[in-house]
Amino acid sequence: MSSFVSFLRRPLLAGLATLLLSSQLALAAPSHSLKAPRPLVWADFLGLNAQLHWFSESAYRQQIAKLKALNLQWVRLGLHWMLLEPSPGQWRLDELDRLIQVMHEEQLKPLMYLVGSPAFASSAPAGASNVDQYPPSNPQLFASSLAHLAGRYPQVEAWQVWNEQNIPPFWQPAEDPLHYRQLLESSLDALGAVRPQATQVMGGHAYYSQMPVRGGLMLEALMHLGSLKPNRVTAYHPYSQEPEGDVPGAGDFLLNAGTLNQHLRLLGSGPIWATEFGWSSYAGPVELQPIIGEQGQADYLLRRLALMSAMDFDKVFLFTLSDLDARATPRDRFYGLLRLDGSEKPAYLALKRFLQIAGPSLTPLTPPAFADAPTGMLSIAWQRADGRWLWLFWAQQAGTVRLQRSGSGTLHNPLRGTSQTLRSSGGGINVNVTRELQMLVL
- Say yes or no: 134 and 259 in one domain: yes
Give the whole-angstrom CA distance, residue 71 versus residue 350: 14
Domain boundary among 360, 387, 408: 360
Into how many domains does the chain fold? Answer: 2
- Say yes or no: 372 and 284 in one domain: no
Give the whole-angstrom CA distance, residue 245 versus residue 398: 19
**Cα 328 to Cα 46, 52, 211, 323, distances in angstroms:** 25, 14, 25, 10
Domain boundary among 360, 383, 416: 360
- Say yes or no: 9 and 151 in one domain: yes
Give the whole-angstrom CA distance, residue 290 versus residue 311: 26
- Say yes or no: 288 and 421 in one domain: no
Give the whole-angstrom CA distance, residue 200 versus residue 93: 22
Instruction: Name the percent of the chain in helix, strand, coil, to the closest 5.
Output: 30, 25, 45
Provide the CATH number for the domain around residue 328: 3.20.20.80
- Say yes or no: 305 and 413 in one domain: no
pLDDT per position in the chain (442 positions), as tens? 223 233 333 333 333 334 454 434 444 444 789 999 999 999 999 999 999 999 999 999 999 999 999 999 999 999 999 999 999 999 999 999 999 999 999 999 999 999 999 999 999 999 999 999 999 999 999 999 999 999 999 999 999 999 999 999 999 999 999 999 999 999 999 999 999 999 999 999 999 999 999 999 999 999 999 999 999 999 999 999 999 999 988 899 999 999 999 999 999 999 999 999 999 999 999 998 999 999 999 999 999 999 999 999 999 999 999 999 999 999 999 999 999 999 999 999 999 999 999 999 999 999 998 988 999 999 999 999 999 999 999 999 999 999 999 999 999 999 999 999 999 999 899 999 999 999 999 9
Per-residue confidence (pLDDT) for residue 41, from 0 to 100 = 98
- Say yes or no: 307 and 409 in one domain: no
Reported as type and span, the H/E element at residue 394 is strand 389-394
Domain boundary among 360, 392, 408: 360
- Say yes or no: 423 and 346 in one domain: no
- Say yes or no: 207 and 303 in one domain: yes
Per-residue confidence (pLDDT) for residue 20, from 0 to 100 = 52
- Say yes or no: 412 and 293 in one domain: no
- Say yes or no: 262 and 341 in one domain: yes
Per-residue confidence (pLDDT) for residue 300, from 0 to 100 = 98
Give the whole-angstrom CA distance, residue 237 versus residue 283: 23
Per-residue confidence (pLDDT) for residue 288, from 0 to 100 = 87
Give the whole-angstrom CA distance, residue 178 versus residue 391: 45
Give the whole-angstrom CA distance, residue 308 versus residue 238: 10
Enclosing domain of residue 354 = 2-360
The pLDDT tens digits for 125-155 are 999 999 999 999 999 999 999 999 999 999 9
- Say yes or no: 144 and 90 in one domain: yes
Per-residue confidence (pLDDT) for residue 280, from 0 to 100 = 98
